[in-house]
Amino acid sequence: MRRKNRARERVDEWLSAYIDGALSPRERARLEARLARDPDLRARLDALQRTVALVRGLPSVPAPRSFLLTPAMVRPPVPAARRLAPALTFATAVSGLLCVILLVGNLIRAGWGGPGAIAPAPMIAYETGASPEAGEAEGMAKQAPPSPQAIPTEMTPLAGAAAISETAVPEMRAWGEGTPSPLERAPIPPDMGGVGGGAEPGPSLREPYGEPEEPPPSEPMAAGEETMTATLTVEVTPISPMPEPLPPVRGATAGEEATPAGTPPSLPGAMPEETPTPPPIPWLPVGGLALLTAALAALSIRAWRAR
């Protein structure tokens, strides 16, 4: 049965090729000889030829609409990689920023910028704290009883120190001869405690107070003016770190006495000696972030160039 089908298929193949004129001259001659003596084969050929004629005669189906192209239709599609490009670029920027922040932050902590890199913190505190506190001191000066020797607030520290040392001498002498120094009685007045009485950074913060303060009156003070005297003890302290231009008067000695009472040296240069060994730079996270940034940057470039 299968063999019969195979033979039938082979005959149909010949007949089909015969219709198309695709047989070799020898094959065509053999087929035509068989057709002449086999009416069934002729009928099969006839049916096949009519079938092919029917298919070839099928009407052409016109396009139901126009297929004209618009520019939007032929715009090249945005590749998937390209769509990721903005997100990748943003990730690169964030990663790079984190890397820089981590590195710079650790460099500052480790003091790689030299002694000046560490000093700014207290200095900033000094500068920022100066103006309001100076204003406060001004207010205090206004509240205090008017004195002919009042020093203007805008006086420079050095001049102020000189003025204080000159004017303070009699007062100091008076303390030294008479009652114990107000420093010993009340090293830090209660009203100053809030400002600079805290602890170590105190002196540098308290320093501005020395500038606008008026010198102590040359007359002996009344007991009710103890607050003003106490203020003087504080204002003397900042002068102590720079005694060079001053003559070795007892006022300076009094300042040196005041120092251990809670006023460590406030010179910025002294600070680096206090800092322990700088913390090590965390190279692993910094390096990892740098590598991640580089990888993201490479991916971003590839994404933008994707077609």
Enumerate binding residues for other proteins (CB under 8 A). Answer: 9, 12-13, 15-17, 20, 22, 43, 47-48, 50-52, 54-56, 58-69, 71, 73-74, 76
Taking the least distance from each CB to other proteins, the nearer of 12 and 200 is 12
**For residues 296 and 97, is the Cβ–Cβ distance under 8 A?**
no
| Nearest-approach distance from CB 38 to other proteins, in angstroms | 15
Residue 33 CB, nearest approach to other proteins (Å): 20
CA distance 63 to 216: 110
Q: 67 vs 277, which CB is nearer to other proteins? A: 67
Q: How far is CA 200 from the centre of its chain?
A: 31
The span from the CA of 55 to the CA of 59, in Å, is: 9
Q: Which residue has the tokens 């715009």?
A: 75
Q: How far apart are CA 123 and CA 271, in angstroms?
A: 11
Q: How far is CA 158 from the centre of its chain?
A: 41
Of 197, 176, 173, which is closest to residue 186 (Cα–Cα)?
197
Cβ closer to other proteins: 56 or 142?
A: 56
Question: In terms of CB distance, is 46 or 191 closer to other proteins?
Answer: 46
Quote the distance between the C-alpha of residue 134 and its chain's center: 34
Kindly state the smallest distance separating residue 106's Cβ from other proteins, in Å: 53
- Smallest Cα–Cα separation from 234: which of 257, 267, 250, 218? 257
Name the minimum Å distance from CB 30 to other proteins. 17
Which residue's CB is nearer to other proteins, number 37 or number 67? 67
CB 129 within 8 A of CB 208: yes
Write down the least CB distance from residue 81 to other proteins, Å.
19
The residue among 24 and 156 lying less far from other proteins, judged by its C-beta, is 24
Q: How far is the CB of 54 from other proteins (least distance, A)?
A: 6
The CB-of-98 to other proteins minimum distance in angstroms stands at 42
Least distance from other proteins to the Cβ atom of residue 86, Å:
25
Distance separating alpha carbons of residues 5 and 272, to the nearest angstrom: 104
Helix (H, G, I), strand (E, B) or coil at 126: helix
Measure the CA–CA gap between 206 and 264, rounded to whole angstroms: 12
Distances 60 to 15, 52, 64, 193 between C-alpha atoms, Å? 26, 16, 12, 105
What would the DSSP string read from start to end of 44-89? HHHHHHHHHHHHHTPPPPPPSS-----TTTTSPPPPHHHHHHHHHH
Nearer to other proteins, 19 or 162 (CB): 19
Nearer to other proteins, 59 or 114 (CB): 59
